[in-house]
Amino acid sequence: MIGARNSTTIIHLFRGQNDEVVNAVQRYEEQYGVGPIWVIQVPARICLAADHTDYWPGFTSELVVMASDSQIMTAVIGPRDDGFVYCNSMDEEFDPWEENLGENIPIGDEWLTWLEMLGAPIPNWSNYVMGSVRHTQMFEEVKFGFNMSITSTIPPDSGASSSSALAICGMFAIRLSNQLATDAEVMTFTTAEAEWFCGTRGGMMDHATMMYSCSDSVLRLTFNPFTQKAIELPKEMGGVKFTTLFTHPSKKGGEIKRAFNELAFVAREVIPRLVPKDWQDNWGEVAEELPEKMSREDITNRWLDDCVVFEKMYPALFETDFKIKVANRFRFAMRELDRSKRMQSLLTSSNCTAEQIGNIMNEAWVDAGDLYDIRTREMDQFANQARKIPGVHGIKVMGAGFGGNLLLLTDNDADLSSLGKGRIQECSAGPAASIIDAKEMMPTLDNSTTPLAAVLLCGGKGSRMLEHGIATHKPLLNLNEVPSTKLVIQQLLNSQLNFSQILVVVPPGREPDYEEVLAGLGVKIVTQHEALGTGNAVHCIIDELLSPVEQVYVSFGTQPLIRTTTI
């Protein structure tokens, strides 16, 4: 697990190298102050084929997806030592909020059962974060909250799944702050379930894409069972590019939320109860036997005993009367599966062309309207305008539809400016979500760098500890039954670096304690006689350094070496 780093340190390391990270961390410091943080980056999800099939049971769905390298959500996360969660967003549309981990704690060990008891929450962006928090509380030991500041270039309500990116940021935050695992498998499965907290009942396509993608490749995802495999984009695709085109916001409230639940309900509950066991052998004939539509009354009459479960599982759908399409939803899923297989075959062949990939995207566009009803009039207008531009090979709905982004495949030199510069965004296949590792930005040292000294700053009077009856100096408290300062020194001595000298700076009166604990390690204890801060503590050792020493490793706590107020 990558450890938290001081926020000011990250700003200095990344300044001039990654301004987006610097700006995000500075925003965090403005809200929550200086301290240890993690910086998380989560990409937008782009689906090339087999949209909306990850939650279909009864067959192994195959999706072709990729992460965007240009639309990223950045979360700066700071651990807390209490049970509160504080969050803010750079987008003024989303108000800051706070939650108490001790309130509304999940009951039992059945996530869906608890959600049924809870009911759908009032719509708020906090739900995507707190869904991850509450899910973790149900299945893990959670003691500590966090501060989190969100900066994002993923447009909200765009079909690029900014909501799932936010849920993943929340899952990283609660798990890192409580020293829990954050590997791709854990993050994918837990966050997919956690997002049900918001009232939707989707699958885990978004989360898997964000956690498993890699640069310059698309990702083949299967479900039932779950697998993931990278497919490197062929060189034949070098002359074309993907671009997203924003049409209008796709709000997940009201009718749109009901529509999402309708699609999931038909896929998960209705069609599996209607199709024969061997339906995969000839799905076309099976589709002809399915009802075109079913009303709520039809469903109640056919599956009366199951309706109680249906109503709890899909409350946004069953709170009203409805008539849902069945046969066309089934046809859409099967045709998407076929398109996915054809696209995979093309991408792994030596004769892949942009026209072929574009044709598959165009087929998906037609079915998204005729069979799945997720296109809007405004989306059609933008698509018609884009098709008139030379060099546009394919257009499809991106994500859940009902607005949001369209995905375009075009020649590299295609001029899309007539669509509106604020609406278009080029994107290539990017990497998965990650925790930024500050070590990669740090200057490297090796054995040829000699002589080298190590300085450990163990200042502070320990007044707050004394108030709580703890006489041991904080840097000497045990970590895994070893005094923490001793543990650090042992790690330094066991490293590949050759330290000519190790100095430990302590406050007056603490010298005997350190001499006793660090006996036999060959370190020198230096006293900082006046409590003038971290910078002064470093200055105290200048006269103690051996004359040949040219470089010094300094280890200190969460405070910056020098603050503006110190200067």
CATH code of 532's domain: 3.90.550.10
104 three-state secondary structure: coil
Domain of 317, CATH number, reads 3.30.70
* Residue type at position 108: G
Among 139, 127, 206, 136, residue whose Cα is nearest residue 175:
136
Q: How confident is the model over 257-278, as pLDDT tens digits?
A: 788 889 989 999 999 999 998 8
419 three-state secondary structure: helix
Q: Are residues 62 and 193 in the same domain?
A: yes
Between residues 191 and 450, the one the model is more confident about: 191
Q: Are residues 416 and 487 in the same domain?
A: no
Question: Is 485 a domain residue?
Answer: yes
Rounded CA-CA distance 213/158 in Å is 20
Characterize 525-542 residue by residue with b for buried, 16 or more Cβ atoms within 10 angstroms of its Cβ, and e for exposed. Answer: bbebeeeebbeebbebbe
Question: Is 349 a domain residue?
Answer: yes
Cα dist from 429 to 416, 507, 523, whole Å: 20, 53, 51
Question: Is 438 a domain residue?
Answer: no
Q: How confident is the model over 395-436, as pLDDT tens digits?
A: 999 887 889 999 999 999 999 999 998 999 999 999 999 999
Question: Is 562 a domain residue?
Answer: no
565 φ, ψ (degrees, to nearest 5): -65, -30
pTM over 0.75: yes
Question: Is 490 a domain residue?
Answer: yes
The first and second tokens of residue 123, run together, are: 């719509």
Say whether pLDDT at 565 is over 70.
no
Q: Are residues 219 and 263 in the same domain?
A: no
Q: Are residues 389 and 448 in the same domain?
A: no
520 three-state secondary structure: coil
Q: Are residues 216 and 331 in the same domain?
A: no
Domain final residue pick, 378, 400, 426? 426
Domain of 219, CATH number, reads 3.30.230.10
Q: How confident is the model over 212-257, as pLDDT tens digits?
A: 999 999 999 998 889 999 999 999 899 999 999 999 998 766 677 7
Phi-psi region of 61 (alpha: psi -120 to 50; beta: other; left: phi over 0): beta
Q: Are residues 240 and 265 in the same domain?
A: no
Q: Are residues 173 and 51 in the same domain?
A: yes
Which domain range does residue 288 map to? Answer: 256-273+281-426
Looking at residue 567, its pLDDT comes to 47
Q: Are residues 157 and 46 in the same domain?
A: yes
Say whether pLDDT at 466 is over 60.
yes
Question: Is 567 a domain residue?
Answer: no
Q: Are residues 90 and 38 in the same domain?
A: yes
Question: Is 432 a domain residue?
Answer: no
Signed CA dihedral, 224, 45, 196, 326: sign only = negative
Contact 383, 419 (CB under 8 A): no
* Residue type at position 305: D
Rounded CA-CA distance 197/515 in Å is 54
Q: Are residues 318 and 417 in the same domain?
A: yes
Q: Are residues 285 and 352 in the same domain?
A: yes
Say whether pLDDT at 135 is over 50.
yes
Question: Is 433 a domain residue?
Answer: no
What is the number of domains present in the chain? 3
- DSSP secondary structure, 454-517, as one string: EEEE-----HHHHHTT--S-GGGSEETTEEHHHHHHHHHHTSSS-EEEEEEEE-TT-HHHHHHH
Domain final residue pick, 368, 391, 426? 426
Give, as one character, the DSSP assignment of residue 202.
Answer: -
What does pLDDT average to over the chain?
91
Provide CB contacts within 8 A for 82, sequence distance 6+. Answer: 144, 145
Q: Are residues 237 and 341 in the same domain?
A: no
